[in-house]
Amino acid sequence: MKAITTGICLSLFVSAQAQWQQVHVDPTMGAMQTVALNKDTVLVSRNWDQLLRTTDGGVNWDTITLPNAQSYRLHFIDQLHGFYAGSASFQTSPTFFKTSHAGATWQTMNF
């Protein structure tokens, strides 16, 4: 029974691994956080003031620049609405952004 269970687990692991493939490598990217909104739309926050966004499962990536916003936190409450907190190193308070379009566009939040 133990051999059968091990074989089933191994075959599940192998079949799950077959679905993943490396599509983008950038050693200077400095990825901070990744958020998958669905199987096709993924956002990756970078060290400085940029997000990477794909809408085709990682085949193509767009770079979104958020001014004066070194990455702190990227959070989505659903597939459309999200928030990004960041700050330039010379600022004393964080900068906040929001999106209502799955990260395609971002607006500064003023408090």
Q: Quick one: average pLDDT of 80-93?
A: 78
pLDDT band at 23; cut points 50, 70, 90:
low
Contacts of residue 32, Cβ cutoff 8 Å, sequence gap at least 6? 44, 45, 46, 47, 71, 74
> Measured between alpha carbons, how far is residue 110 from residues 11, 47, 56, 98, 107 in Å?
52, 23, 32, 10, 9
Q: pTM above 0.85?
A: no
Q: What is the pLDDT of residues 92-105, one digit of tens each?
A: 677 888 999 999 99
Count of CB atoms situated within 10 Å of the CB of 38: 10
